[in-house]
Amino acid sequence: MGSYLVRRFLLMVLTLFGMSILIFVMLRLVPGNIADILVDASGADPRDKARIARELGIDRPIAEQYVSWIGGLSRGDLGFAYVSERPAIEEIAPRIPISAKLAAMAVVISVVLGVPFGVISAVKQNSSLDYFLRVISLSGLSLPSFWLGLLVLMAAVHWFGTIPIFDSNSRGFWDEVGMLALPALTVGFRSSALIMRLTRSSMLEVLRQDYVRTARSKGASNASVNYDHALRNALLPVVTIIGIEAAFLVGGLIVTETVFNIPGVARFLVEAILWRDYPIVQNLVMLIAFVVVMVNFLVDMAYMALDPRIKFAD
C-alpha cells in the first residue's frame, strides 16, 4: 500500500507537470496578448505595445517565462494580474469558496437524487414508477444547463417577481445555501440523471447474479438483498461516474455562474481568457487540474472501502 501511494503521488506530480506545460504553451498560441488588447482598447500609440510587453515580461522567451511562473508557483507566488495589477492570489482566493460551495452542493444534489432513484428504478423495473423516473432522467440528460437556468430565472420572475441573484455580502450558512440552491440544482440535475441511469443499469446487472438469487432462496428479505448484497457491489461504477462528474462540475460551472451572476472561479476564468491575463488563467486552470487529479485519487481510495477484494499491491 505504501509503495502504491508513492507511485501514485509521483504520477500525480508528473501529470500536473505535463498539464502546466500544455496550459502554458496553448495559452500563448492564442492570437494576441494583453499588450495588443490594451493598445486596441485604449487607442494608445501602437509604439507603446513593446513597452507594455516589456513591463509585463511577456516579451521574454517562453521557456524563461515558464521557469519564472513555475518557480513562483512552487513558492506560493502566483504573480500579478495584468488587468487589475494586483497579486493574482488576491483576485483568485475570494472566488474559490464560492465555486467550491456551488460545486459541492451540485455533487450532493446529484448523488442524493441519482443513487436512490436509480435503485428504486431498478428494483421496480418496468413499473409505472420506473418509466416515470426514466423519462425524468432522459429529460435531465437532454436539457442544457444554460437553458434550464434561464427557465429557472424566468419562472422565479413569474412566480415571485424577482430574480435570485447571488449576494457576496450575505451572512450565515443558510443564507448562502438559499442563494446557491437553485444554481446547484440546475447544474446538478443533469449529473443526477446520469448517475441515476448508471445506478439503474448497474443494479439490474447485479440483481441478475447467482449470489443474489442464492440470497433470495435462503429467505433473505428484499431490503437485505437489494441494499446489503446488491447495492454495495453495484456502487463501484457509480463511484467512478460520481468522481468524473465532480471533476467536471469544478471546471464546468462557467455557464451557470454567468447565468446566475455568481462571481466564482469559472466565470472569472472566462473574463481572464478574454483579456489574455496569463497569470490568472494559468493558475486557475492548474487549480482545476489539481482538483481533477485529487478527485481521481479519492475515487481509487473509495474502491478499497467499498470492495475489500480490491487491493493495491506494494
Say what the pLDDT of residue 262 is.
83
Burial profile 202-241: b = 16 or more Cβ within 10 angstroms, e = fewer: bbbebbeeeebeebeeeeeeeeebbeebbbebbbbebbbb
H-assigned helices in 167-277: 173-207, 210-217, 222-223, 232-251, 254-259, 265-274
Options 1.10.150.570, 1.10.3720.10, 3.90.180.10, 3.40.309.10; CATH of 100-264: 1.10.3720.10
- Give dist(CA 213, CA 220) in Å, integer: 10
Full-model pTM = 0.79
284: helix, coil or strand? Answer: helix
Say what the pLDDT of residue 309 is.
64
CA distances from 43 to 149, 272, 301 (A): 38, 21, 55
User: Is it the case that residue 3 has pLDDT exceeding 70?
Assistant: yes
Supply the DSSP string of 10-23, one letter for each residue. HHHHHHHHHHHHHH
pLDDT, tens digit (0-9, with 9 covering 90-100), for 16-70: 899 888 888 888 777 777 777 766 665 556 666 777 777 677 778 888 888 888 8
146: helix, coil or strand? Answer: helix
The answer to whether the beta carbons of residues 174 and 89 sit under 8 Å apart is no
Say what the pLDDT of residue 252 is.
65
- Give dist(CA 224, CA 208) in Å, integer: 15
Q: Could you state, in order of their start, the residue ranges of all structural domains in the chain?
A: 100-264
pLDDT, tens digit (0-9, with 9 covering 90-100), for 168-225: 665 666 677 777 888 888 888 888 888 999 989 988 888 887 877 787 777 777 777 7
